[in-house]
Amino acid sequence: MKLIVGLGNPWDKYKKTRHNIGFEIIDQYVNSNNIGDFSYDNKYGWEVLTLLNPPSQGGLSNVTEKIIFLKPMEYMNKSGQAVQKLMNFYKIEAKDLLVIHDDIDLWVGVVKLKLDWGLAWHNGLKDIAEKLGTKDFNRVRIWIDRPLSVDQVSDYVLSNFKKEEIEKIQDKYLDIEWLISEFLGK
């Protein structure tokens, strides 16, 4: 069983912000592979999509196990609770978790998949690692660039992308989809 988590903030005012790129990418992956719709779970306060029998199409053609897509509907820095609850319920191991998130360390549009990266400044990742008791989980880092000053980070990640930045990220979407499919095929 695999769990793919997109990080973001759930409220409309954050919808197109840099910090919500995890939500945007997971939505795009689900839509481009025609695999269903997220549903809101009132009990746990998250949006989830569960595939018991993944369709044999697109990036899912080599996947035979259950896949869960999750968008925690809390502030980013409280994402760990939802991830922990779902992983405990389904007994999912950390190696079977993929978190898609923003990263300010490099230029817009660079993407990487890796296990056991540092958590750096990212409070969502820190919360997940704290709740799971490990930082040994997979991540797709989507670089959103860096503000000029450290004092501007909060405002910067909550600002909207410029048109040309959106285009750079969309140019990399097939790479991102390939990274997700690679994770699912492990």
| Catalytic positions | 19
Dihedral sign from CA coordinates of 50, 125, 185, 166:
positive
If one counts every other C-beta atom within 10 angstroms of the C-beta of residue 95, the result is 13
If one counts every other C-beta atom within 10 angstroms of the C-beta of residue 170, the result is 12
Total number of residues shown for the chain: 186
Residue ranges with strand state E in 56-183: 67-72, 97-103, 111-115, 138-143
If one counts every other C-beta atom within 10 angstroms of the C-beta of residue 52, the result is 8
If one counts every other C-beta atom within 10 angstroms of the C-beta of residue 123, the result is 15
